[in-house]
């Protein structure tokens, strides 16, 4: 250890400026692995079978995932047109009434209709063209037309 301290440092300090501890011997780990027993052809074949079985399981899982994958085609929608169309629906349905409900605006209650009309409703609310009110998260949304529209 003394030789290390002299060869790689000045005044017992290493390159990082930390003091070198000369009380403990320097460890040299063995880089060559010495086998504890001889490997037989049976061991190699069983290891190969295990690897092939694991690979087979992985490929089976991949094929299951690929079969389960669903392709969803989302059509492009002009959001400004959708907003204008929703606003026009609200204006025509609200005539003579105080408010109209969200499901009252929809022609069908399909998930596509709900999603395609919900976003324009939020845009109109953000632009302060309509007011939205919902008493409970399970109840329908009331849509009020602003006075200045």
23 and 47 belong to one structural domain: no
61 and 113 belong to one structural domain: no
124 and 90 belong to one structural domain: yes
66 and 122 belong to one structural domain: no
pLDDT digits over 53-88, tens only?
999 999 999 998 888 877 778 778 899 999 999 999
9 and 57 belong to one structural domain: no
25 and 41 belong to one structural domain: no
64 and 10 belong to one structural domain: no
**Sequential pLDDT tens for the chain (149 residues):** 455 445 555 566 666 666 666 666 667 777 777 778 888 999 999 999 999 999 999 999 999 888 887 777 877 889 999 999 999 999 999 988 899 999 999 988 898 889 889 999 999 999 999 999 999 988 999 999 987 76
27 and 66 belong to one structural domain: no
Phi first, then psi: give them for residue 36, nearest 5 degrees: -85, -25
Please count the structural domains in the chain.
3
pTM for the model: 0.51
Give the separation between CA 48 and CA 42, rounded to whole angstroms.
10
Domain that holds residue 27: 1-31
CATH code for the domain of 91 = 1.10.10.580
């Amino acid at each position: 250890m003394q030789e290390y301290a002299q060869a790689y440092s000045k005044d017992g300090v290493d390159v990082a400026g930390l003091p070198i501890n000369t009380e403990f011997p320097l460890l040299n780990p063995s880089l060559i692995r010495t086998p504890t027993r001889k490997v037989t052809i049976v061991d190699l074949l069983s290891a190969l079978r295990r690897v092939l079985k694991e690979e087979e399981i992985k490929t089976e899982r991949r094929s299951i995932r690929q079969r389960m994958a669903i392709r969803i085609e989302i059509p492009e929608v002009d959001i400004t047109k959708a907003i204008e169309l929703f606003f026009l629906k609200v204006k025509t349905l609200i005539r003579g009434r105080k408010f109209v409900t969200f499901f009252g605006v929809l022609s069908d209650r399909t998930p596509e209709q709900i999603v395609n009309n919900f976003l324009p409703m939020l845009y109109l609310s953000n632009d302060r063209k309509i007011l939205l009110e919902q008493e409970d998260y399970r109840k329908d949304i009331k849509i009020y037309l602003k006075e200045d529209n």
